[in-house]
Chain A
Amino acid sequence: AQTVTQSQPEMSVQEAETVTLSCTYDTSESDYYLFWYKQPPSRQMILVIRQEAYKQQNATENRFSVNFQKAAKSFSLKISDSQLGDAAMYFCAYRSAWGNQFYFGTGTSLTVIP
């Protein structure tokens, strides 16, 4: 099974500042998808951003962007201009291009300081 590692259990950022959440994964596959999900206190899982492994260009969604380093098997999430509503647990996830199952990291709890 693939392994997804988030080495930062907790992170904090000042409002309006930028923060980067780390994610690494282990796979022998060449074709796969990567995702970042946000889980606020309501516990609803919300898709933040996705990246296809075959694309070299890093995905961006408004204030959210990723730094995808395929050779290093790294997939970090950058949140710019952090807002109070960004406070949540963030989970990195991997899915093979050939399967349905998602593999989740252990999560990073992000606190936004006003």
Chain B
Amino acid sequence: GAVVSQHPSWVICKSGTSVKIECRSLDFQATTMFWYRQFPKQSLMLMATSNEGSKATYEQGVEKDKFLINHASLTLSTLTVTSAHPEDSSFYICSARVEQGNQPQHFGDGTRLSIL
């Protein structure tokens, strides 16, 4: 149980376009999901906390107008990278947690984003 699905796994697009990444909790409901960015050989950097039915909470230094987060249902959160530029190229990972006790975060498989 507790599977998180992330789509797409890899996307290549031109500079200036917008890219949407989906994160779904397949067998549980998640009022909170998390979006991370990871550079090669580095740790996960929390970008924002996605809250179902309300605005996302962004970490300091993360542009909310650049990285739009929508959490419209208890099983789906989306991250849209708007007007993407080469410096936005990175590995993006989402996670969600069964909100009970010591449950760990369950991660999607990540999205490799390459902006040409």
A: residues with CB less than 8 A from B are: 33, 35, 37, 42-45, 47, 50, 52, 89, 91, 93, 95, 100-102, 104-107, 109
Contacts and interface: CB of A to CB of B under 8 A. Distances in A.
Contacts of B43: 91, 104-107
Interface of B: 32, 34, 38, 41-44, 46, 49, 91, 93, 95, 97, 99, 102, 104-107, 109-110
A105 B44 CA distance: 9
A43 B104 contact: no
- Chain B binding site: helix, strand, loop or mixed by DSSP? strand
Nearest to B91: A43
B3 to A, nearest CB: 12
Contacts of B102: 33, 50, 52
Nearest to A48: B104
A45 B49 contact: no
Contact of B110 (A44, A89, A104): A44
